[in-house]
Amino acid sequence: MNWIQVYDPFNSIVGSALVAAIPLYILFFMLAVKRAKGHFAAGLAVLGALIVGVAVWGMPVQLAASSFLYGAGVGIFPIVWIVVTAIWVYNMTVESGQFEIIKSSLATITEDRRLQAIFIAFAFGSFIEGTAGFGTPVAITAAMLVGLGFNPLYAAGLCLIANTAPVAFGALGIPIIAVAELTKLDVMHISAITGRQLPFLSIIVPLWLSVTMCGFKRSMEVLPACIVAGLCFATTQFVTSNFVGPMLPDVLSAIATIVGLGMFLKVWQPKSIWRFPNEPASTGKAVCNYSQSDVIRAWMPWVILAAMVFIWGLKPVQDMMKSTVITFAWPGLDSLISKTVPVVAQDTVYKAMYKFNYLTSPGTAVLIAGILSLAVLPKYGVGRAVSCFGKTVVQLRFPIVTIAMIVGLAYLMNYSGMSSTLGLAFAQTGHFFPLFSPVIGWLGVFLTGSDTSSNLLFGNLQMTTAQQIGVSPELCVAANSSGGVTGKMISPQSISVATAAANMVGEEGNLFLFTLKHSIAMIIFVSVLTYLQAYPLSWMLP
């Protein structure tokens, strides 16, 4: 007999939600107050979730344990797989000396740290998000910025902040496509509304990054470049999401930004070069001491990586490899739990199918890119590559444990019903629900580390509540995704990836505090916009 989820054990949805959030209190306290290491904070949060889930929500112990292990398995593959392969490619470019050439060539475009952050974290990161998603862009861009000489905390924090605008359309539109399939709403309608929310955020992210680095006054020195980058991205994102679909906004917006900003910087440069306070001052215009062929060769691993990830994400390619995916029911969990009203219209079996997509995973595309890169890395053979891979795994041992536990925590909260309890509490706000609708998405991404998972977790709740209060269900479903992108930067899963990439393992608490205020400011912005679009600015909707 299936165990049926309980959502309101105290007969007060607000009271139940306050108790359901105990694992989150623990996580927040350990990271933000005690500044504990990520794997330690995650372990205590998992323990809290197990106790609350079993003792209060009545979840059988074996189901609680199995749901945690299921999530941990998903954390190891495909998420950790992506992180390990991405950092491996970066480490090989460092060991081979090619990253020094990349730094030199990038400095000839601009020595200014503010503009380098926009190029790498915002534009290049958006391209990787659009093609792969699932932690890949932060892993790659944070490692690149550290290699360029950025302060590790800023490298990780800036990449997390930049990885907001593109997230809703990440992995070739999977978050939007998935929630449209779940809710049976029109995918183009959801895409168009999302494309009428996120461009307002996208246009200010470049300036936001600069202000974070050096303050408002110094950011005015690069305002023209910030405007160019923001307009290129936001305009392309709006047009593509409204008239093409959810698959290409990130890819095309990133390309438009890289090309547009690159052309602009050929005719304009800031009057003064900004560097971090502990760095030596600029000595004038940088000169690349390497030949053009050397520069091209140094960039080739990243060109190959971007091309492979893009090709891997194409639907025909994924369809061709679909038969290689190994799918099996997770033992002791699949079909043993049922969701019930009001989360679903009628009792629905909660599936738990594990997909071992060893070939279709973006991490495999990155692995193949790394292997192909051996052809262009000078004096770097298979033996050194294998050795580097082993050292990379050792380097990431603590982040691997942290990511596995964090995803396990998210799955435990999902299968126990605690996550749904939190969502239902927000749904009690009635007329003001559109104001809180993005917050539910924000909470979902904080819990799961994924905009796709957040949409699948709360998509039906958003649609049903919107219909009950008489506002556009497409708006609230889109707002779940738009709000979710602002929670990505504080998700413990994302923070673990960033600290691993920036070689600052153990400083998860500091990074969490670094991004928290930015996340709160952005979710307030998206929430107010959604409320206005629900009522006085409803004409903005398609």
Rg from Cα positions in the chain: 23
In percent, how much of the chain has pLDDT > 90? 45
CA 332: distance to chain centroid?
Answer: 30
Res. 283: pLDDT tops 60: no
Query: What residues contact residue 316 under an 8 Å CB cut-off, 6+ apart?
Result: none
- Average pLDDT for residues 242-252, to the nearest whole number? 84
Closest CA to 523 of 480, 483, 495: 483
pLDDT, tens only, 412-452: 988 999 988 887 887 788 899 999 999 989 988 887 777 87
Look at strands 348-350 and 3-4 and give their pairing. Answer: unpaired
Res. 266: pLDDT tops 90: no
Closest CA to 5 of 20, 23, 25: 20
Eight-class DSSP state of 2: P
Res. 286: pLDDT tops 70: no
Confidence of residue 468 (pLDDT cuts 50, 70, 90): confident
Confidence of residue 131 (pLDDT cuts 50, 70, 90): low
Res. 190: pLDDT tops 80: yes
d(CA 39, CA 384): 30
pLDDT, tens only, 494-539: 888 888 888 887 888 889 999 999 999 999 999 999 999 999 999 9
H helical segments located in 314-450? 315-321, 362-373, 382-395, 397-416, 418-426, 433-448
Confidence of residue 133 (pLDDT cuts 50, 70, 90): low
- Average pLDDT for residues 258-272, to the nearest whole number? 90
CB–CB of 83/361 below 8 Å? no
